[in-house]
Chain A
């Protein structure tokens, strides 16, 4: 009961100094919101990438020419298929298309190169020539829907009209947002592929533990190829996003330092009024432990409120407003256009880290000066 009464007093004390405390909450909340936004966005992008690649083939083989990705001859597929341990080799036909009308990049993919996790929001996959299915981002920027025509300019600068038969949905917007799926013949014709070439080869391996061995064999046999394993891609995504978030955190460190200075200033400089109040409380019979409990509740109330508001602001910023303030730095990836919405992924561990980095330092910065005032004679403390 005693603790509840002290808590009640702490809350009323905060309310009495509401303008000062509101200012602290705002600064504190902003700091947490920026920190949490960076971590949420990085984590969400990494999770999106993991989803994207979950059903990707264990190995992708690209051909290199002059150090650049080039189309791969289809007869490589037959020869790779003969390597022991390779279950299946599947040529993939795909390419990027810059849509000057909307200034967005689309990914064009032929139906049989499809990703298994794709599910239709509405409609069907294309089954006949002249049909296509599109991602939600494409539908949005082109303002089209099922039954409408998607008109693209092919490699010979001729307009190609494709009827939209379906719009994709997926766990991950990143997976399908910029996607246009069409029949193989349509795609080959659209990009002007030579009939004996594919974009790359998807290799399925019977035993996932043999992926690296098979990749090494391919590289040895065809030195002009680049085998890329799924785990390498996932690691690369993680490294890129971690690096970018690290950069952001470094820049943000200045703001964090400013906040720490504010907290330290509060820690070392308790106001005369607060000192006087502590003196009065001591004089009327509050023990030092009671004062510390009071200040603990005050610090907890401010820091937890700021933490919750900061996390909420970060959540809204990243998952509802598309992380507008951070996207250019962390995504930084032109083919992601048209813009997509991240699926909310929150890691409890991250929230605990943010809480640990922000709440205890603030509570400590509240307790230390109060403790110093509380161990002073009430008479001295009352004089401020």
Chain B
């Protein structure tokens, strides 16, 4: 049976053939099955974020192939790459990447604006998610009025609003204390129970040693070092 995600000898070179050329990934091959919680671990600069952005269709590899649900996305045009990203992935970024001037609800609904969904339905989905994340009463608040943990929850809600099959989280605990990190892992567990496949990039042992993780992939200097 085809894996949900499979990469074949993926390479990514920034500023190729220039003095500042940087080889971020040096031929990474891996696979992630549906329903798994996979963790990419490794020190800073090991290529975790680059690999996540390639898997999440945010950029294209310099060489190699990436298959998502059996479809090779590495050669897709920009438009289809965006479609795949929109329909398949939800992202939780390290810096949260929320729009500070927007309200909680507006941030959550961002992915739905360009879609053919009625505003009433958008709001209903948003309220449902906020209720699940215990943030119902904060929907009109601005992002800069929220704590780090609350901002993280908004980012999670935004990642889930499209009901994606795969959730990608880049260093999700980087800006959280231990208690909030444990809460976050609880949330990810819940998301996984909803049937979502989760891929996390982290160098936080609290995350990669958590029993929730079903697959651990260790990266170093752009190469896959070990897999367990």
Residues of A with Cβ closer than 8 Å to B?
1-2, 5-6, 9, 12, 16, 276-277, 279-290, 375, 377-380, 382
Are A284 and B82 closer than 8 Å at their CB atoms? Answer: no
In the bound assembly, the distance between CA atoms of A279 and B158 in angstroms comes to: 15
In the bound assembly, the distance between CA atoms of A282 and B106 in angstroms comes to: 16
Q: A286-B113, A287-B79, A382-B97 are in contact. Are A16 and B102 (CB under 8 A)?
A: yes
Question: 9 A-B Cβ contacts within 8 A?
Answer: A1-B118, A12-B102, A284-B91, A286-B82, A286-B113, A287-B79, A379-B53, A379-B58, A380-B59
In the bound assembly, the distance between CA atoms of A283 and B93 in angstroms comes to: 10
Q: A2-B116, A5-B119 are in contact. Are A16 and B158 (CB under 8 A)?
A: no
Q: A16-B102, A280-B99, A284-B158 are in contact. Are A375 and B78 (CB under 8 A)?
A: yes
CB nearest neighbor in A for B59? A377
Bits for B74-113, please: 1 = Cβ < 8 Å to A, else 0: 0000110011011100010100011101100010001101
A1, A6, A379: residue with the most chain B Cβ atoms closer than 10 Å: A379
Nearest Cβ on chain B to A286's Cβ, whole angstroms: 5
Nearest Cβ on chain A to B120's Cβ, whole angstroms: 11
Are B102 and A283 closer than 8 Å at their CB atoms? Answer: no
Question: Among residues 2 to 32 in chain B, which have CB atoms less than 8 Å away from a CB atom of chain A?
Answer: none
Are A283 and B119 closer than 8 Å at their CB atoms? Answer: no
- Interface membership of B114, Cβ < 8 A: yes
Are A282 and B82 closer than 8 Å at their CB atoms? Answer: yes
Nearest Cβ on chain B to A362's Cβ, whole angstroms: 23
Contacts of B91 in A (CB 8 A): 283-284
Nearest Cβ on chain A to B126's Cβ, whole angstroms: 14
Contacts of B86 in A (CB 8 A): 284-285
Nearest Cβ on chain A to B150's Cβ, whole angstroms: 18
Q: A377-B58, A377-B59, A379-B58 are in contact. Are A281 and B110 (CB under 8 A)?
A: yes
Nearest Cβ on chain B to A8's Cβ, whole angstroms: 8
- Interface membership of B115, Cβ < 8 A: yes
Are A283 and B85 closer than 8 Å at their CB atoms? Answer: yes
Please name 7 further chain A to chain B contacts, defined as beta carbons within 8 Å, in addition to the given A280-B97, A284-B158, A285-B82, sorted by A numbering. A12-B102, A284-B111, A285-B115, A286-B82, A290-B113, A377-B59, A379-B58
Contacts of A378 in B (CB 8 A): 58-59
Are A288 and B79 closer than 8 Å at their CB atoms? Answer: yes
Are B115 and A284 closer than 8 Å at their CB atoms? Answer: no
Nearest Cβ on chain B to A200's Cβ, whole angstroms: 72
CB nearest neighbor in B for A281? B110
Are A290 and B114 closer than 8 Å at their CB atoms? Answer: yes
Residues of B with Cβ closer than 8 Å to A?
49, 53, 58-59, 78-79, 82-83, 85-87, 91, 93, 97-99, 101-102, 106, 110-111, 113-116, 118-119, 158, 162
Residue from B49, B93, B111 within 8 A of A285 (CB atoms):
B111
CB nearest neighbor in B for A282? B82
Q: A288-B82, A379-B58 are in contact. Are A6 and B102 (CB under 8 A)?
A: no
| Closest CB pairs A-B (n = 5) | A285-B86, A377-B59, A290-B114, A284-B111, A16-B101
In the bound assembly, the distance between CA atoms of A285 and B98 in angstroms comes to: 14
In the bound assembly, the distance between CA atoms of A378 and B85 in angstroms comes to: 11
Residue from B82, B106, B116, B119 within 8 A of A287 (CB atoms):
B82
In the bound assembly, the distance between CA atoms of A375 and B60 in angstroms comes to: 13
Q: A12-B106, A285-B162, A286-B114 are in contact. Are A379 and B85 (CB under 8 A)?
A: no
Contacts of A375 in B (CB 8 A): 78
Nearest Cβ on chain B to A143's Cβ, whole angstroms: 59
Nearest Cβ on chain B to A101's Cβ, whole angstroms: 63
In the bound assembly, the distance between CA atoms of A276 and B99 in angstroms comes to: 9
Nearest Cβ on chain A to B70's Cβ, whole angstroms: 21
Q: A285-B86, A379-B58 are in contact. Are A280 and B78 (CB under 8 A)?
A: no
Are A285 and B78 closer than 8 Å at their CB atoms? Answer: no
Residue from B59, B78, B98 within 8 A of A379 (CB atoms):
B59
Residue from A6, A281, A288 within 8 A of B78 (CB atoms):
A288
Contacts of B93 in A (CB 8 A): 283, 382
Residue from B78, B97, B101, B115 within 8 A of A283 (CB atoms):
B97
CB nearest neighbor in B for A279? B97
Residue from B79, B87, B99, B114 within 8 A of A277 (CB atoms):
B99
Nearest Cβ on chain B to A2's Cβ, whole angstroms: 6
Residue from A12, A283, A287, A289 within 8 A of B58 (CB atoms):
A283
Nearest Cβ on chain B to A367's Cβ, whole angstroms: 17
Contacts of A289 in B (CB 8 A): 79
Contacts of A279 in B (CB 8 A): 97
Q: A277-B99, A284-B91, A379-B53 are in contact. Are A5 and B82 (CB under 8 A)?
A: no
Are A285 and B114 closer than 8 Å at their CB atoms? Answer: yes
In the bound assembly, the distance between CA atoms of A83 and B87 in angstroms comes to: 90
CB nearest neighbor in A for B98? A280
Contacts of B82 in A (CB 8 A): 282, 285-288
Contacts of B158 in A (CB 8 A): 284
